[in-house]
Amino acid sequence: MSEIKTFVPTPDSPPPLTSTGVLRWLRDNLFSSWFNSLLTLLALALLVRVVPPLVSWALVHAVWTGGPGVCDDASGACWAFIAAKARVMLIGTYPPELAWRPLAAGALLAGVVAATVSGRCKKRVLTGLWPVFFAAALWLVGGGAGLETVDQSRWGGLMLSLGLAAVGILVSVPLGILLALGRRSGMGGVSAVCIGFIELVRGVPLITILFMASVMMPLFLPPNFQINNLLRVQVGIILFSSAYIAEVVRGGLQAIPKGQIDAAKALGLSPWMVTVFVVLPQAVRHVLPALIGRCIALFKDTSLVIIVGLLDFLGMAKAASQDQLWLGHEVEGYVFCAAVYWVICFGMSRYGRSLEKRGPQTNR
């Protein structure tokens, strides 16, 4: 028996070092041409100049804890300021002994948001849950019916921003849809009113509306009939936002082929049912990205209320930096605000993406 020789090929030599791993990635992405190489080097130079001072300010030389005056000699950020002012920035001038009430409302909000985002709850349940939540939150924060009343002038901080935005979004989206439907309805009177309203509101900046609501309105009302400032501002925000949402939704309505409507009618659906079950679900799905964009914009727009004397999150950060004991720490306050705003807006944006991915079936 002679041994059978098997041919063993020499293994492939590895690819040249420059076409694998980190080097390849670097070459493809950062140094693919002389222009890109130049940009990379410039960007690197910029990072080297910016990042170390930033890190040294925000982390290395920062002061994390302590009372007033602890930051006097520090060269870095004074995060102790944020710690000391956290209460004011979150709930404003709300009475400290009742602070558990807005916090409980916040916990409820977190629960309702979690239920909504998880997508496990039935739509019907959610539709019921939100109004119940609002009633509960309003009762907790405002008082009445067994709880001590806390006047609106003491609401402020992040609580106020979230409240204005949440009510704004949940009222202005349905209102905007109604306006869009009204604008496209064949009825002359209704569509004229809707067009008039939308064009009027879209033609003025939000600041003007807030000023009208807050500064001009009291001039017309009799002295003993004063509507509360917060309510006026909230209505202003809702009206402003609903006009924009109406136009976004109208875009979606126009994208539905007429054949679908005719087909639905041929099946015997009433015009009302056609709108609710055939047109709207598709239209809203089409414009979901733009709609989420409007909601994020509305949340950020609430920071404008400072010009009419409501101290929201940003306003409270600014006011808190005027405390004699903590002067000169606006920057830390603004950085903190930016971080919180970013987290909330990014969360809304992610939720929007997940809504887009859900199929029409699971959305029922």
Examine residue 236 and tell whether it contacts other proteins (CB under 8 A).
no
Examine residue 226 and tell whether it contacts other proteins (CB under 8 A).
yes
Show the binding pattern over residues 100-139: x = contacts other proteins (CB under 8 A), - = does not: ----------------------------------------
- Closer by beta carbon to other proteins, 74 or else 129: 74
Show the binding pattern over residues 309-348: x = contacts other proteins (CB under 8 A), - = does not: xxx---xx-xxxxxxxxxxxxx------------------
Kindly tell me which residue out of 66, 143, 218, 293 binds other proteins, with binding defined by CB under 8 A: 218
- Closer by beta carbon to other proteins, 142 or else 218: 218
HEC string of the chain? CCCCCCCCCCCCCCCCHHHCHHHHHHHHHCCCCHHHHHHHHHHHHHHHHHHHHHHHHHHHCCECCCCCCCCCCCCCCEHHHHHHHHHHHHHCCCCHHHCHHHHHHHHHHHHHHHHHHHCCCCHHHHHHHHHHHHHHHHHHHHCECCECCCCHHHCCHHHHHHHHHHHHHHHHHHHHHHHHHHHHCCCHHHHHHHHHHHHHHHCCCHHHHHHHHHHHHHHHCCCCCCCCHHHHHHHHHHHHHHHHHHHHHHHHHHCCCHHHHHHHHHCCCCHHHHHHHHHHHHHHHHCHHHHHHHHHHHHHHHHHHHHHCCCEHHHHHHHHCCCHHHCCCHHHHHHHHHHHHHHHHHHHHHHHHHHHHCCCCCCC
- Closer by beta carbon to other proteins, 102 or else 252: 102
Number of residues this chain uses to bind other proteins (CB under 8 A): 48
Minimum CB separation of residue 222 from other proteins in Å reads: 6
Examine residue 151 and tell whether it contacts other proteins (CB under 8 A).
yes
Residues that bind other proteins (CB under 8 A): 75, 84-85, 87-88, 91-96, 151, 153-154, 211, 214-216, 218-224, 226, 229, 306-311, 315-316, 318-330
